[in-house]
Homo-oligomer: A and B are copies of this chain.
Amino acid sequence: MMIIMRTSATKAEVEHVIARVKSFELDAHLSDGAERTVIGVVGDGRPVDKNLFIRLPGVDNILPISKPYKLASREFYPQDSLVPIGDHLVGNGSRIIIGGPCAVESREQLLESAKAVKDAGAHALRGGAFKPRTSPYSFQGLGEEGLKLLAEARELTGLPIVTEIISPELVPLVAEYADVLQIGARNMQNYSLLKAAGLSKRTVLLKRGMSATINDFLMAAEYILSKGNQNVILCERGIRTFETATRNTTDINAIPVLKLLTHLPIMLDPSHSTGDWRLVSALARSGIAAGADGLVIEVHPDPANALSDGAQSLKPKRFAELVNQANAIADVLKAANISSTPVQ
């Protein structure tokens, strides 16, 4: 951490700051410039809270140097983590595809979707049983009944299942049925939920919050990791910007940036990141080309009658085309020996 003193700071103020730095058993390194003094705070690698210094007289600003996350950082753990979804491992350029409806609506709808996902050659089935909806008047999910249908679909197709958790006290119940616990964008900073997921033994698919910086995103992952669960998959699903032509703005930059910063696998959800089925295939291709370890895609046998997210769901035929396109691009990357992590 660097403590930037004001140009008007007195010698006494500088000394007071240094004394405080030392009171926390940290070292202080002084840089006297023509205009101002900068004090480097040197410790043992643990993050130091800037609030400890920001209010001292003569202090202008504090610049952090160390990252605030540790278990999630690639500096701490340089190898790509490989995280299980059923028998598949996600990470290191794996290209695992999860497909399925936004919500489990009925036995027929789910089993038809599951069959389509399986037939297209995808690797896991998604479907929400507990739904976080913007409106209290919208369909809120089938609850445990939905979980049972998901289990039945797994039985039939062999596909591992991914489903959302929305409240800490429901985690044990959902974990009984699901292979992967999804934490949605709106709950990315629901710390009670992150802790509960961290105490579970299931793989967690953590979606980026709509206005979460990459730093916030990795701090949310750190919550789960710090509770002892190492199986975390990050998922970019679009951020909120001024652009209204699409539901969200896909932060495609985030994929190679995350590859540089963390060892955790990264997937892309182009259904949510665009909100428009017409754009989903183009974005799926672009995600794989950018180095994503996999995709999460909304698939529905009859989108015009879906109870949620119909506008962004693919019909089974288009989904099968998308899987083929993603595989073709993945093959190019593999053939050319292009790493999912940018070369530095």
Q: Which residues of A contact B (CB under 8 A)?
A: 2, 4, 7, 29-36, 38, 40, 42-47, 49-52, 54-56, 63, 65-66, 68-69, 75, 132-138, 166-169, 186-187, 189-193, 195, 209-211, 213-216, 219, 222-223, 226-227, 239-246, 249-257, 260, 273-274, 277-279, 281-283, 285-291, 303-304, 306-311, 324-325, 328-329, 331-333, 335-336, 338, 342-344
CB-CB under 8 A for A279 and B256, given A222-B135, A329-B289? yes
Q: How far is the CA of A310 from the CA of B20 in the complex (A)?
A: 15
Contacts A/B (CB < 8 Å), 14 sampled: A2-B2, A34-B45, A51-B307, A55-B277, A56-B304, A136-B222, A213-B242, A214-B243, A215-B245, A244-B244, A250-B252, A282-B290, A286-B286, A325-B336
Q: A211 contacts B210, CB within 8 Å?
A: yes
Q: A311 contacts B55, CB within 8 Å?
A: yes
Q: How far is the CA of A289 from the CA of B283 in the complex (A)?
A: 8
Q: Name A131's closest neighbour in chain B (CB-CB).
A: B191
In the complex, which residues of chain B have a beta carbon less than 8 angstroms from the beta carbon of A65? 2, 4, 33, 36, 38, 63
Q: B211 contacts A242, CB within 8 Å?
A: yes
Q: Name A28's closest neighbour in chain B (CB-CB).
A: B31
| Distance from A56 Cβ to chain B, minimum over Cβ atoms (Å) | 6
Give me 11 other A-B pairs in contact (C-beta within 8 A), A31-B42, A210-B211, A243-B254 excluded. A4-B65, A135-B222, A166-B191, A190-B193, A239-B243, A246-B253, A249-B249, A252-B283, A253-B283, A278-B342, A324-B336
Q: A219 contacts B135, CB within 8 Å?
A: yes
CB-CB under 8 A for A253 and B273, given A187-B190, A213-B243? yes
Q: A286 contacts B216, CB within 8 Å?
A: no
Q: How far is the CA of A31 from the CA of B168 in the complex (A)?
A: 44
| Distance from A165 Cβ to chain B, minimum over Cβ atoms (Å) | 10
The residue that A42 contacts in the complex, of B33, B134, B215, B245, with Cβ under 8 A, is B33
In the complex, which residues of chain B have a beta carbon less than 8 angstroms from the beta carbon of A69? 135
In the complex, which residues of chain B have a beta carbon less than 8 angstroms from the beta carbon of A324? 336
Q: How far is the CA of A291 from the CA of B227 in the complex (A)?
A: 42
Most chain B CB within a 10 A radius of its CB, from A36, A42, A303: A42
